């Protein structure tokens, strides 16, 4: 089975992807039982999904609160003039940064950070002030933490003529 961008994945491959997104450490035997394949067949499917780049990596999801990183926030950054390179370097060097997005609109970057305290957040924000206008939004709750990507997303795509 080859995966090609023009050919959609079959239902079994989507089932495998959904299960692996929830538990990447599931044994092939159990994964195969859940999708109706033998252990070797499901291992081969997973290998091909990896080779095709559809499965990009496996990683652990950490409980940030238990690590003392109780505050998550988004920092919107709009650089002064041509300071994007300096800001990008500062973002890359800041261990508090969980993710950074280059965005359209009035801001240049949307940065997700995790910190130990409000004081820690303030110190982090202050590092950007010489280079940019900064707006900070503290995360109060996470109604949708991480949704499993499935083939259902394609049913929501508007049809074109």
Domains identified in the chain and CATH numbers = 1-61 (1.10.10.10), 71-138 (3.30.70.920)
- Biggest CA-to-CA distance, the chain: 59
137 Cβ contact partners less than 8 Å away, ≥ 6 residues apart: 73, 74, 75, 76
pTM of the entire predicted model:
0.82
pLDDT per residue of the chain (161 residues) written in tens, 0 to 9: 555 555 679 999 999 999 999 999 999 999 999 999 999 999 999 999 999 999 999 999 999 999 999 999 999 999 998 898 999 999 999 999 999 999 999 999 999 999 999 999 999 999 999 999 999 999 999 999 888 888 888 877 676 76
Other C-beta atoms lying within 10 Å of the C-beta of residue 150: 13
Other C-beta atoms lying within 10 Å of the C-beta of residue 125: 17
User: How do residues 120-150 score in pLDDT, each as one tens digit?
Assistant: 999 999 999 999 999 999 999 999 988 888 8
């Amino acid at each position: 089975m080859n995966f090609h961008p023009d050919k959609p994945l079959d239902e079994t491959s989507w089932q495998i992807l959904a299960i692996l997104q929830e538990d990447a450490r599931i044994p092939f035997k159990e994964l195969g039982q859940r999708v109706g394949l033998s252990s070797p067949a499901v291992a081969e499917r997973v290998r091909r999904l990896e080779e095709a780049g559809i499965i990009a990596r496996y990683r652990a999801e950490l409980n940030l609160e238990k690590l003392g990183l109780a505050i998550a926030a988004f920092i919107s950054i709009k650089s002064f003039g041509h300071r994007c390179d300096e800001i990008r370097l500062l973002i890359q060097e800041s261990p508090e940064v969980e993710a950074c997005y280059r965005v359209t609109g009035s801001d240049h970057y949307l940065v997700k950070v995790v910190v130990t305290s409000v004081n820690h957040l303030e110190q982090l924000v202050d590092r950007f002030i010489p280079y940019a206008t900064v707006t900070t939004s503290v995360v109060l709750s996470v109604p949708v933490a991480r949704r499993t990507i499935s083939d259902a997303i394609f049913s929501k795509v508007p049809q074109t003529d």
